[in-house]
Amino acid sequence: MSPRTRSDQAIAPHGWVQALLAVLSALITMGAAAALGLWAAGATDLPDGAFPRVVAATVVTAVGGTIELSGNDGGLADTQAGLTVIPLSVTLAGALVIAVGFLRPLRHRAVAGAGELAGWAARIAVLWLLALLALALGARQTFQLSLGDDTLSDLGDAFGVSPQVGFETDLPPTLFFGLLWLAGVLVLALLVSRGAPLPARLLRFQATVRPAAYAMVVLLLAYVALGIVIAVVVAFTRGQAAATLAVILLGMPNLVWLTLTIGLGATWNGRVEGPFGLPMPHVLDEVLRGSDTAALNLRTLAENDGRVWWLVAVDAVLLLAAAFVMAARSPARMRAWQHALHMAVALALTVLMICLVGRISAHYGLSVLGIGDLGGDLNGELLLEPELWSAVGLAALWGLVTGFLGALLARPVRRSGETETAGPADAGRDSVRP
């Protein structure tokens, strides 16, 4: 007889069709977010029908892919360009959709074998790699640059120079990091979802890992939601609706997760030159614009706008709420110092992730006959990098404090494994929360 129960037999299968639906849903969501964001940013005006290829490149970079920029015109002109940025709004949208597609066939299960989970994930991974390969091959384009109306343009006309810049996908690292991104999303989905099954050997870890992972995901999503609300209010009160929509659909997590780390006391170092700039708020651009690398932290921001000190209060409230959620979902036997330790580790890892994916490096420069670096629209640079280990250390400290306080606040809440005596008639009975 088959050991499977009726409830197991009623569960939706997780074969190739379901894997294809999960992958296609994620790619369509990411493509739609990227296309709408780029449309709002004015990318539809790009020449030579490049818009679809730029959308494909945006999706590729959203999952960790590498886009190489290059261009020149023989020995007379040289174009140097580089871009390292992850559009985290597109990343987040794809991660949420593919996580739901991965977990849906596994719902209502308490335990699943390691082989079953690995086989289901492998189906998704194979189709994901094929789709990513197709996107990567389509993400390539070459543009001709205008030299403007000054001396540089006259030189270009005299020597017949038509400098070009183009982009294409570097396939090996794109496929590797795209697969690594997918693996991270699927593992995190298993950790966060209370109803997702785990192999029997890993069940003993779910009481400590799952509440912390869930609390961090809630924290990050809360910051994104708060950022969207603020952006919409700003759009209605100050205009620039198109620019605001572009930020929401392309880089809202880049912005709000940056402010999360700054509110913790972290420092980012950066520089803005030329036409590049950070979209909102304007105070970030003011601090970073100049010829020297500037520190971006609470002190330097407060010199331009004292309201940035509210970031500390926002961090304190939301971190305390996340710690409360973590403690409320944890077993009752867990002590306050254990909650503090779990919160510290989880927040430190979260800030480490933000620092790794939130880096920005963009530059381009054009020279003709050795004449370059003329400023204006022909050269620009945007750099933003964190002081990594100080940010992680501050996150751990904040996690210890808020984790301990959150555990104290969650004490009145009945939790898993908690027992209570209802009265003489119910003496000896255990009331266990499901």
Note whether 90 and 250 are within 8 A (CB). Answer: yes
Per-residue pLDDT tens digits of the chain, which is 434 residues long: 444 444 443 444 678 999 999 999 999 999 999 999 999 988 888 777 788 999 999 999 999 988 887 655 544 445 556 678 899 999 999 999 999 999 988 876 667 777 888 899 999 999 999 999 999 998 888 766 555 555 444 444 443 445 566 788 889 999 999 999 999 999 999 989 887 887 777 777 788 899 999 999 999 999 999 999 999 998 888 777 888 898 899 999 999 999 999 999 999 998 887 666 565 567 777 788 866 788 899 999 998 888 899 999 999 999 999 999 999 999 888 899 999 999 999 999 999 999 999 998 876 665 444 444 444 445 667 888 999 999 999 999 999 999 999 999 998 875 655 544 334 444 333 333 33
- Give CA–CA dist 407/324, Å, rounded: 6
Bridge partners for 355 per DSSP: none
